[in-house]
């Protein structure tokens, strides 16, 4: 197999398992073995346990036992010289429940380090490392335990749900890290917990739900940059309205009234307005220098934010995770951790096969999944194709997304029980009075 001098992984892997070794390295398994609990002997070792958990997300099937049979057969066919794991889905679930969540999160952290190492040449865009943040709810079965522990609201009508907040590298479209919580969880709290996973020089791009004084102060204090959309609820102040060019762009101060009463200093931010065909988008950023973050770059970063929405579409629709299959709280957590790790590896394999020269063209998650399932069928003997069929790496290189320029918006049918999207209203820019000016000067001088 050909080796590259600049990378420790093979340039062109021969099979699907070789692609997984890009990120699931031997050093990772040593770290996972040190975190596992020592208990009674089991047929399920960490490597086949995680392997089957990931393949169960990728393979087709209407139930967990059906997916388990396919995933186990694929593992046995791929590692014929190793000891075979257990044969029942119940035994697999019991062995998985004994694995601490810290071990699965350790695997995710090791994969993140591998992603940063492998895509280091495509990591930065215009001097920043762009990340998008968003959240979504995932439904759970209506079991008694889940209804008690994962209630999404005060009423009993809504099914039990789990809230997933995810960070996505925008230029590559890669899932980076995630945080789980109840259906009524707060996205801002999740983002604070995920700040430790972000690399330096991060530019966080998010919608208007993440605008808050405490969060913006935390992001600025941690050395991260942000680019957030505004709504009419955001209180922006200027000492003199004449300093703003057409009241659209310039230096403003984010200063809620409760922060004024507690005598907390205002946050200086830069207001940007991106004009679209239908709606103009107002953004704020703590990058105050225009030469460092231009209007064109800010517009490009915010357009890429929709790739974060595309991640949840891939997770829910392409992989069929609109509703989880597990019926216990511990099993739900492990199913979510394993399936999100599977999505991360799926997108990473597509990014590996995409050449760096194809800027702006992301791989198609659906085509990657089709290539994965074809490889699973070929290895397990479910499909006997011709001898001169394409290899997995060749099919992976052809899994390109649609790069054509769209001339009109996609048509969408009205969906029952779904409210039409209303874009947020533009922010109201208020002029400071003399009292607020004196208070701001005193707080800024003391700081």
In a domain, 404, yes or no: no
Same domain, 271 and 297: yes
Q: What is the mean pLDDT of residues 55-71?
A: 92
Query: Which of 144, 179, 237, 161 is CA-nearest to residue 434?
Result: 237
pLDDT of the residue at 15? 80
Mean pLDDT, residues 296-321 taken together: 92
- 176 and 254 within one domain: yes
pLDDT at 352: 87
- Give the number of other CB atoms < 10 A from CB of residue 2: 6
238 and 365 together in one domain: no
* Residue 163 burial (CB count, 10 A): 20
Does residue 165 contact residue 311 with C-beta atoms inside 8 Å? no
Cβ atoms of 163 and 324 within 8 Å: the answer is no
pLDDT at 75: 94
CA dist 88 and 23 (Å) reads 28
Average pLDDT of the residues of the chain: 85
In terms of domains, do 84 and 218 share one?
Answer: no
For 36, residues 6+ apart whose C-beta sits below 8 A from its C-beta are 46, 99, 100, 103
Q: Tell me: do 171 and 271 sit in the same domain.
A: yes
Query: Is 70 exceeded by the pLDDT of residue 125?
Result: yes
Per-residue pLDDT, 386? 47
| Closest by CA position to 138, among listed 307, 416, 340 | 340
In this predicted structure, the answer to whether residue 281 has a pLDDT above a threshold of 80 is yes
pLDDT band for position 417 (50/70/90)? low
The answer to whether residues 297 and 149 belong to one domain is yes
pLDDT of residue 388: 44
Q: Could you tell me which residue, 324 or 385, shows the higher pLDDT?
A: 324
Domain of residue 23 covers 16-103+327-397
pLDDT on residue 5: 40
Residue 117 lies in a domain: no
- According to the model, what pLDDT value does residue 155 have? 57
Q: Which two tokens stand for residue 433?
A: 């009075």
Q: Read off the tokens for 303.
A: 């357009």
Q: Is residue 118 part of a domain?
A: no
- What local confidence, expressed as pLDDT, does residue 403 receive? 67
Distance CA 190, CA 187 (A): 5
Confidence band for 38, pLDDT divided at 50, 70 and 90: low
Domain shared by 36 and 183, yes or no: no
Domain membership of residue 119 (yes or no) is no
- DSSP assignment letter at 156: S
Tell me how far apart the alpha carbons of residues 290 and 70 are, in angstroms, rounded to a whole number. 55
Which is more confidently placed, 398 or 95? Answer: 95
248 and 355 in a single domain? The answer is no
Between the alpha carbon of residue 184 and those of residues 152, 179, 190, the distances in Å are 5, 13, 12
Residue 434 lies in a domain: yes
Q: Specify the range with the lowest mean pLDDT, choosing from 49-63, 281-295, 303-317, 359-373.
A: 359-373
User: pLDDT tens for residues 217-275?
Assistant: 999 999 999 999 998 888 888 887 666 656 678 889 999 999 999 999 999 999 999 88
Within a domain: 110: no
**Cα 96 to Cα 44, 142, 331, distances in angstroms:** 9, 22, 8
Give the Cα separation of 80 and 74 in Å (integer).
10
Tokens representing 258 are: 């409760």
**Residue 93 located in a structural domain:** yes
* DSSP calls for 121-142: GGS-BTTBEEEEEEEEEEE---
Q: Which string of DSSP letters, residue by residue, matches 265-285?
A: PPEEEEEEEE--SS--EEEEE
In terms of pLDDT, which residue wins out, 126 or 7?
A: 126
Please check whether residues 85 and 193 belong to one and the same domain. no
pLDDT-derived band at 164 (thresholds 50, 70, 90) equals very high
Label residue 11 by pLDDT band (50, 70, 90). Answer: low
Task: Give 387-407 pLDDT, tens digit per residue.
Answer: 446 777 777 777 777 666 666
Q: What per-residue confidence (pLDDT) applies to 311?
A: 94
The residue with greater pLDDT, 187 or 379, is 187
- State the pLDDT at residue 342: 96
Q: What is the pLDDT of residue 226?
A: 96
Q: What is the pLDDT of residue 244?
A: 62
pLDDT range class, residue 157, cuts 50, 70, 90: confident
Rounded to whole angstroms, the Cα distance separating 177 from 219 reads 17
Q: How many domains does the chain have?
A: 2
The answer to whether residue 192 scores a pLDDT higher than 70 is yes
Asked whether residue 58 is assigned to any structural domain, the reply reads yes
Are 267 and 360 part of one and the same domain? no
CA distances in angstroms from 345 to 108, 178, 400, 416, 438, listed in the order given: 10, 14, 16, 34, 54
Predicted confidence (pLDDT) at residue 382 exceeds the cutoff of 60: no
Helices in 243-357 by DSSP H: which ranges? 257-261, 295-304, 306-313, 329-353
* Statement to judge: residues 251 and 278 lie in one domain: yes
157-163: Cβ within 8 A, 24+ apart = 158/183, 161/137, 162/137, 162/138, 162/324, 162/332, 162/336, 163/135, 163/136, 163/137, 163/138, 163/187, 163/190
Position with higher pLDDT, 338 vs 233? 338
| 435 in the same domain as 370 | no
Mean pLDDT over 23-52 rounds to 79
CA gap 285, 188 in Å, rounded = 17
Distance between CA atoms of 216 and 286, rounded to whole angstroms? 9
Strand partners, 397: none
């Amino acid at each position: 197999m050909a080796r590259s001098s600049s990378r420790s992984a093979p340039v062109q892997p021969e099979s699907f398992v070789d692609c997984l070794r890009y990120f699931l390295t031997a050093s990772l398994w040593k770290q996972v073995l040190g975190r596992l609990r020592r208990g009674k002997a089991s047929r399920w070792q960490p490597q086949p346990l995680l392997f089957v958990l990931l393949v169960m997300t990728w393979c087709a099937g209407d139930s967990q036992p059906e997916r388990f049979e396919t995933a186990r057969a694929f593992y046995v066919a791929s590692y014929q010289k190793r000891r075979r794991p257990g044969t029942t889905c119940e035994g697999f679930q019991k062995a998985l429940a004994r694995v601490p969540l810290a071990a699965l999160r350790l695997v995710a952290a090791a994969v993140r380090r591998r992603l940063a190492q492998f895509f280091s040449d495509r990591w930065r865009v215009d001097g920043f490392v762009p990340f998008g943040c968003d959240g979504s709810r995932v439904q759970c079965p209506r079991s008694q335990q889940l209804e008690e522990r994962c209630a999404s609201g005060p009423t009993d009508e809504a099914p039990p749900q789990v809230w997933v907040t995810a960070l996505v590298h925008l230029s590559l479209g890669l899932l980076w890290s995630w945080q789980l919580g109840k259906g009524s969880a707060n996205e801002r709290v999740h983002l604070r917990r995920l700040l430790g996973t972000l690399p330096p020089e991060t530019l966080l791009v998010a919608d208007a739900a993440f605008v808050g004084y405490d969060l913006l102060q935390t992001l600025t204090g941690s050395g991260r940059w942000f680019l957030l959309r505004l709504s009419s609820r955001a209180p922006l102040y200027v000492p003199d309205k004449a300093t703003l060019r057409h009241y659209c762009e310039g230096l403003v101060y984010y200063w809620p009234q409760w922060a004024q009463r507690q005598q907390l200093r205002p946050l200086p931010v830069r207001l940007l307005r991106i004009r679209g065909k239908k709606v103009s988008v107002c953004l704020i950023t703590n990058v105050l220098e225009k030469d460092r973050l231009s209007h064109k770059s800010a517009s490009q970063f915010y357009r890429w934010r929709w790739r974060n929405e595309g991640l949840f579409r891939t997770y829910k629709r392409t992989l069929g995770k609109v509703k989880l299959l597990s019926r216990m709280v511990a099993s739900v957590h492990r199913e979510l951790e394993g399936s999100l790790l599977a999505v991360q590896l799926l997108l990473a394999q597509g990014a590996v096969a995409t050449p760096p020269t194809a800027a702006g063209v992301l791989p198609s998650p659906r085509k990657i999944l089709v290539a994965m399932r074809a490889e699973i069928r070929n290895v397990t003997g479910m499909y006997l194709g011709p001898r001169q069929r394409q290899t997995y790496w060749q099919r992976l290189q052809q899994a390109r997304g649609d790069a054509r320029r769209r001339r009109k918006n996609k048509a969408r049918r009205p969906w029952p029980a779904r409210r039409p999207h209303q874009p947020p209203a533009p922010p109201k820019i208020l002029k400071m009075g003399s009292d607020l000016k004196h208070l701001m000067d005193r707080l800024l001088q003391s700081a």
